[in-house]
Structure 1
Amino acid sequence: MKRSFYQWLMTQKNPDGKDELANFANNAALDQSFPKQSEDYHEVAQYLELSGAYLPNMDIFDQAFAAYQAMDQF
């Protein structure tokens, strides 16, 4: 069974992390409305564009989603 993007993103959490991906994951973990079951790029992107004020730019999401997709191929 494929993990959702959120499940993958939670593996990137790091409370002491200084990189953008760790910060994204840490903040998404606190976001009660995040689409936790989604595997769909457009669904998550639309949510973040409308509600993800904690994400400084969408490039971070694009890079994270690409890494998520790459991990799914193994």
Structure 2
Amino acid sequence: MYRESFYQFLMTQRNPDGADEVEQFANNAFFDSAFPKQSQDFEELSHYLEENADYLPAMTIFDTAWQRYLEKMN
């Protein structure tokens, strides 16, 4: 069964005018050329964001986005 990557899911959350934290995360991730675009792995993504994503003010935003991702995938 095909499962989209987290990045592919995240791009569906983009909204340039949105105030939602996940929408803002998605908007900023779009401009992050090093984002692990093929990953479906929580640990890999979490580590990358902690080390590289200055645009993510809190990891709880990633956690929220990851929950939405899992809900969509199931």
Structure 1 runs (4+) deviating above 3 angstroms are none
Report the Cα offset of residue 19 of structure 1: 1.1
Which residue does the alignment assign to 2:23? 22
Does the alignment pair 1:7 with 2:8?
A: yes
Structure 2, unaligned runs of 5 or more:
none
- The 2-side partners of 1:42 and 1:34 are apart by 14
Provide the C-alpha distance between the structure 2 equivalents of 1:18 and 1:69, rounded to a whole number of angstroms: 22
How high is the sequence identity, in percent, across the aligned residues?
A: 53
- What is the root-mean-square deviation in Å for CA atoms of aligned residues? 0.4
1:54 matches 2:40: no
- Normalising by the residue count of structure 2, what TM-score does the alignment of the two structures yield? 0.97
Q: How many residues align?
A: 73
How far apart, in 2, do the equivalents of 1:72 and 1:22 lie? 18
Distance in 2, Cα, partners of 1:36 & 1:2: 13
Listed as ranges, the gaps of 5+ residues in structure 1 are: none
